[in-house]
Amino acid sequence: MPMHANQSALGPEPGQRFPEITLPDQHGAVIDLHADRAGRPALVVFHRSARW
Protein backbone atom coordinates (compact mmCIF):
# COMPACT_ATOMS: atom_id res chain seq x y z
CA MET A 1 0.00 0.00 0.00
CA PRO A 2 1.56 3.35 -1.00
CA MET A 3 2.25 5.94 1.70
CA HIS A 4 1.11 9.51 1.28
CA ALA A 5 3.27 12.50 2.21
CA ASN A 6 1.49 13.00 5.55
CA GLN A 7 1.82 9.35 6.66
CA SER A 8 4.75 7.58 8.27
CA ALA A 9 5.62 3.89 8.36
CA LEU A 10 4.55 2.83 11.85
CA GLY A 11 4.15 -0.88 11.28
CA PRO A 12 2.07 -3.41 9.41
CA GLU A 13 -1.48 -2.60 8.38
CA PRO A 14 -4.35 -4.43 10.13
CA GLY A 15 -4.52 -7.97 8.77
CA GLN A 16 -1.00 -7.83 7.34
CA ARG A 17 1.52 -10.47 8.54
CA PHE A 18 3.72 -9.20 11.36
CA PRO A 19 7.48 -9.34 10.67
CA GLU A 20 9.48 -12.27 12.06
CA ILE A 21 10.31 -11.37 15.66
CA THR A 22 11.65 -12.94 18.83
CA LEU A 23 11.43 -11.09 22.13
CA PRO A 24 11.62 -11.93 25.84
CA ASP A 25 8.34 -12.37 27.70
CA GLN A 26 7.66 -11.00 31.18
CA HIS A 27 9.68 -13.88 32.70
CA GLY A 28 12.69 -13.50 30.38
CA ALA A 29 11.93 -16.55 28.20
CA VAL A 30 12.50 -15.82 24.49
CA ILE A 31 9.29 -16.11 22.45
CA ASP A 32 9.08 -16.52 18.66
CA LEU A 33 5.80 -14.79 17.80
CA HIS A 34 4.94 -16.89 14.73
CA ALA A 35 5.98 -20.23 16.21
CA ASP A 36 4.17 -19.55 19.49
CA ARG A 37 0.91 -18.41 17.87
CA ALA A 38 0.86 -21.23 15.26
CA GLY A 39 -1.15 -19.12 12.81
CA ARG A 40 -3.63 -17.80 15.39
CA PRO A 41 -4.25 -14.04 15.70
CA ALA A 42 -2.23 -12.01 18.18
CA LEU A 43 -2.40 -8.51 19.60
CA VAL A 44 1.08 -7.00 19.91
CA VAL A 45 1.51 -3.90 22.06
CA PHE A 46 4.77 -2.02 22.50
CA HIS A 47 5.18 0.65 25.13
CA ARG A 48 8.06 2.88 26.05
CA SER A 49 9.45 2.68 29.55
CA ALA A 50 9.34 5.76 31.75
CA ARG A 51 13.09 5.29 32.27
CA TRP A 52 15.39 6.62 29.54
* Residue 44 predicted with pLDDT over 60: yes
Distances (CA, A) of 4 to 8, 13, 16: 8, 14, 18
Determine contact, residues 11/3, Cβ cutoff 8 Å: no
Query: Looking at the predicted structure, is the pLDDT value of residue 30 above 80?
Result: yes
User: What mean pLDDT comes out for the span 8-18?
Assistant: 73
Q: What is the mean pLDDT of the chain?
A: 76
Question: Could you count the other beta carbons within 10 Å of the beta carbon of residue 50?
Answer: 5
Angstrom CA distances, 48 to 3, 24, 27, stand at: 25, 15, 18
User: Does 8 map to a domain?
Assistant: no
- Is 41 contained in some domain? yes
pTM for the structure as a whole: 0.44
Could you tell me which residues are beta bridge partners of residue 31? 23
Has residue 52 been placed in a domain?
A: yes
- Greater confidence (28 vs 12) lies with 28
Query: What mean pLDDT do residues 3-31 have?
Result: 76
Count of structural domains, the chain = 1
Instruction: Identify whether 15 is part of a domain.
Output: no
Q: Is residue 2 situated within a structural domain? A: no
